[in-house]
Structure 1
Amino acid sequence: MNPYLCDMDFPFPIRKIIHVDMDAFYASVEQHDDPSLKGKPIAVGGEHRGVVSAASYEARKFGVRSAMPSKTAKEKCPHLIFVPPRFSRYKEISKKIREIFFEYTDLVEPLSLDEAYLDVTENKKGIESANQIAKEIRQKILEQTGLTASAGISINKFLAKVASDINKPNGQKTIHPDKIENFLEELPVEKFYGVGKVTANKMFSLGIFKGKDLKKKSLEELIKLFGKSGGYYYNVVRGIHTSEVKPHRIQKSVAVERTFFEDLFDEQQINEKLESLSQELHQRLRRNNILGRTLTLKIKYKDFSLFTRSVTKEEYFSSSEQYYNIGKKLWELRPYDKPVRLLGLSLSHLNTEEKKQISVQLKIPFREFED
């Protein structure tokens, strides 16, 4: 008897994984809290010299997207309404949403404030249907926050992530084990999680447009074409993704950055901003008892060209003075004397990476997996 109760044999344990993704989270929070914004194209972010942190669905119809310069967003949608971000409010609602997740399982892996993976293979309510759990979670989120969420359900994180985008907004999609092969073969390669615009264009140039085209390539060919990512593409197009839901994600970096209302060129202004960033970075690190060994300076110029340079030490950085002094030395290594629109400092190789995180994954056969 096949323990997975489906026609395909998988070389790994099948789990019930849900990926929950809030719909246009920041923008939806603003529209919920201010009813006058409902139905209007809004962007969360700074209107002058900033970037879009999130865009409402009404704004997305005009091509406005997150990470887009505010100036470009305004050109695409002249009647776009900019709303300053309120991260404390987003965190407050995110906490409520995670409390709902924990009603069903302790195996919750947050990816950000607005999305998370849940392993409900065995859950606190004893519900057999992962599809039903996703419905209940989405309904509770709506009732308790007034916001909508979308969900994807399948046997691993990759498939659940892909599925959650299919019926957005306010929908869900289950990819049953029996349907994985056909689903992936017909899936456009740009829809594969982990395939960005540059990689997708390279695939198009090679005649790879759908999963079935990607599947024709051997492992050796894909590695030759895409490096180590080739192995990832070879596996996921066959439904293979063994990464477990990790309840305790290890923070890998802490960053602070500022986009300036007017471009900076004066050396004294730069030093003042670096000092301010150093103090802010130190406060954030101290508040969370975090240390790190690699400091990175990020410079974005007026023409949007980007420069980063890092220094790694044997011992941990421990003070704002160290961040500032090293930051100034990295600034001196800049390749251009051009006006600066953004400065940032980040710390990585953190002590959090050395703390062992233990997560127990319960692996049992699927007895029921609804469409």
Structure 2
Amino acid sequence: MSSLCRTCLTVTPDTTPTHRCGACGSPRVVQHGELDDLTLAHIDCDAFYAAVEKRDDPSIRHKPVIIGGGQRGVVTTACYLARIQGVRSAMPMYRAKQLCPKAVIIKPNMAKYRETGMEVRSFFRALTPDVEPLSIDEAFLDLAAVQAANKHPARELARLAQTVQDQVGISISVGLSFNKLLAKIASDLDKPDGFAVLGRAEALDFLADKPVKLIWGVGPATAKRMSALGITRIAQLRAFPKDDMVNMFGRFGERLYQFCRGEDSRRVREDRGSKSVSSETTLMTDTGDLAELTAVVERLANRVAERLQTYELEGKRITLKLKTTDFDILSRSQTLDGHTAEPRVLFSVAQRLLAAEFAREPLQTYRLLGIGVAGFD
């Protein structure tokens, strides 16, 4: 079992379990039997928007901070002090204020977040060219080339975390594993400022008793369907043959069959050839409430804007996708005069499209909403 000190960056092979670094005495030690062999990482900036605001305003550094809209808006993100009070992303702002009345409320500054996110990403790419951004504040990194250059991937990731903290002023959490699924899970295990490792030896046992929603792609609606079938834990999914999984969950069933076994064949790749950028969500319950659907549209607009900015794209054609309770799919679009990646513009257009649809069909109920942006030329 090798150990890595995240303070002095000493890697010690074949060590016995220890809570402190033998070289510098730091308690920031990572130990794992596969530490020398794993090369796929997921890195996530900790409470990114809030962290950037705290960096830029020391007076709020030790206060709960919520990033989001006004009284009728929703929470974009919250710092860990606010999360302790129960504040969560996508929560209505009025509820967040009830839970955390002393919180500092700040409206999102996407231009600043994008600038900081690109600065962080430049450090990722200085370490390895194999970077796949997932959003403005997270990415997968393949460090096989780092290992081939006779560098220790885990040590270089710890060095990277130090660099981001020193140069950018925010912390990141690292998940290290042998595939994307487990690397992403690992990055959430030790937040904030964490470094967690999931190897081949423990993958099956680790996943077995975890809730199904831990699996990438299993959202609230899918988890609800699974619960109705008596499936709440990942190990329970392994009892189903692949054909049954496909019958129950469509094409996603094939990937789900792999994921519940800790397998993931997806490679790290950066794809800039997208013709559109979109996001959609299946609602927990069908609804025809305009206010509720408008709140969902706002969240989707923010998510799509973030993805556009991640890939440095701006589009002209904005599309609202609606799926009715009867599974009819509706698509309503508007083409703008100029290109945009601004969340407020995407939300404004999608909100108008939604309101127009309600005017046409005021009694209709919906089960899915989506927003897409195209026209990047």
TM-score category, normalised to shorter length: 0.5 to 0.7
Residue aligning to 2:63: 40
Which residues in structure 2 correspond to 1:4-19 (within 5 Å)?
16-19=39-42
Q: Does 1:131 pair with 2:154?
A: yes
Instruction: Give the whole-Å Cα distance in 1 for the aligned partners of 2:190 and 2:72.
Output: 34
Instruction: Give the whole-Å Cα distance in 2 for the aligned partners of 1:295 and 1:51.
Output: 22
Instruction: Give the whole-Å Cα distance in 1 for the aligned partners of 2:370 and 2:249.
Output: 31
Instruction: Give the whole-Å Cα distance in 2 for the aligned partners of 1:172 and 1:131.
Output: 9
Q: Name the amino acid aligned to 2:66.
A: A
Q: Does 1:310 pair with 2:331?
A: yes
Partner residue of 2:219 out of 186, 193, 196: 196
Instruction: Give the whole-Å Cα distance in 2 for the aligned partners of 1:116 and 1:147.
Output: 16
Residue aligning to 1:117: 140
Q: Does 1:81 pair with 2:112?
A: no
Partner residue of 2:248 out of 225, 237, 255: 225
Q: Which moved more, 1:82-91 or 1:196-205?
A: 196-205
Q: Is contact 1:309-1:330 (8 Å) kept?
A: no
CA RMSD of aligned residues (A): 3.9
Q: Percent identity?
A: 33
Instruction: Give the whole-Å Cα distance in 2 for the aligned partners of 1:349 and 1:211.
Output: 37
Residue aligning to 1:247: 270
Q: TM-score, normalised by structure 2?
A: 0.67
Specify the SS of the correspondent of 1:122. Answer: helix
Q: Taking structure 1 as reference, are residues 98 and 220 closer, same or farther at Cα in structure 2, changes over 3 Å only?
A: same
Deviation at 1:15, TM superposition (A): 7.2
Specify the SS of the correspondent of 2:231. Answer: coil
Deviation at 1:59, TM superposition (A): 0.8
Q: Which moved more, 1:235-244 or 1:201-210?
A: 201-210
Q: Taking structure 1 as reference, are residues 123 and 39 closer, same or farther at Cα in structure 2, changes over 3 Å only?
A: same
How many equivalent pairs are there?
295
Residue aligning to 1:92: 115
Deviations 1:166-193 (A, max 9, x none): 1111111111222222222243322222
Q: Taking structure 1 as reference, are residues 132 and 329 closer, same or farther at Cα in structure 2, changes over 3 Å only?
A: closer
Instruction: Give the whole-Å Cα distance in 2 for the aligned partners of 1:247 and 1:118.
Output: 10
Q: Taking structure 1 as reference, are residues 101 and 330 closer, same or farther at Cα in structure 2, changes over 3 Å only?
A: closer
Q: TM-score, normalised by structure 1?
A: 0.68
Q: Name the amino acid aligned to 2:193.
A: N
Deviations 1:255-300 (A, max 9, x none): 9xxxxxxxx99xxxxxxxxxxx9xxx9xx99xx78666x642489x
Q: Name the amino acid aligned to 1:149.
A: I
Structure 1 stretches lacking a partner, 5+ long:
1-13, 256-263, 266-276, 300-307, 339-343, 353-371
Q: Taking structure 1 as reference, are residues 226 and 37 closer, same or farther at Cα in structure 2, changes over 3 Å only?
A: same
Specify the SS of the correspondent of 1:177. Answer: coil
Deviations 1:129-148 (A, max 9, x none): 33222211111111112211
